[in-house]
Amino acid sequence: MVVGDASLDIDVLVIGAGPGGYVAAIRAAQLGKSVIIVDKAEVGGVCLNRGCIPSKALISAAHQYEQMSHGSGIGISAEGVKVDFGKVQEWKQSVVKKLTGGVGSLLKGNKVQIFNGEAMFINENEARLFNESESPRYRFKNCIIATGSRPIELKPFPFGKRILSSTEALELPEIPKSMVVIGGGYIGIELGQTFAKFGTKVTVLEGSKTILPGFEKELSNLVERNLKKSNVEIFTEAMAQGSEQTDKDVTVTFTVKGEEKKLTADYVLVTVGRRPNTDGELGLDLINMKLSDRGLIEVDKQGRTSIPHIFAIGDIVAGPALAHKASYEGKVAAEAIAGQPSEVDYKAMPLVVFSEPEIASVGLSETEAKDKGIAVSIGKFPFGVNGRALSLNATDGFVKVVANKETGIVLGAQIVGAEASNLIAELGLAIEMGATLEDITLTIHAHPTLGEIVMEAAEGALGHPIHMMGK
Chain-centroid distance of CA 52 in Å reads: 6
Is the backbone peptide bond immediately before 176 cis, with ω within 30 degrees of 0? no
Q: What angle do CA 114, 171, 228 make, to 5 degrees?
A: 130
372 is in an annotated binding site: no
Q: Is 206 annotated as a binding residue?
A: yes
Any binding-site annotation on 273? Answer: yes
148 is in an annotated binding site: yes
The reply to whether 147 sits in an annotated binding site is yes
Q: Flag whether 185 is marked binding.
A: yes
CA distance 275 to 296: 9
> How many angstroms from the chain centroid is the CA of residue 238?
24
Per DSSP (E only), the strands in 335-454 are 351-353, 359-363, 376-382, 398-404, 410-416
Instruction: Say if residue 186 carries a ligand binding annotation.
Output: yes
Binding site annotation covers 189? yes
Q: Pairing between strand 398-404 and 178-182?
A: unpaired
CA distance 293 to 232: 36
Is 447 noted as a catalytic residue in this protein? yes
184 annotated binding-site participant: yes
Identify the three-state secondary structure at position 309: coil
DSSP code for 280: G
CA pair distance 379, 437, nearest whole angstrom? 9
- Do the annotations mark residue 187 as ligand-binding? yes
Q: Which residues contact 229 (CB under 8 A, 6 or more apart)?
A: none
Do the annotations mark residue 188 as ligand-binding?
yes
Helix (H) / strand (E) element for 149: namely strand 149-151
Which of 309, 447, 464, 467 is catalytic? The answer is 447
| 183 annotated to a ligand binding site | yes
Produce one character per residue of 253-284: b if its CB has 16 or more CB atoms within 10 Å, e if not.
ebeeeeeeeebebbbbbbbbebbbbbeeebeb
How far apart CA 105 and CA 110 sit, in angstroms, is 9
Annotated binding site for NAD(+): 183-190, 206, 273
* Active-site amino acid positions: 447
Annotated binding site for FAD: 56, 147-149, 315
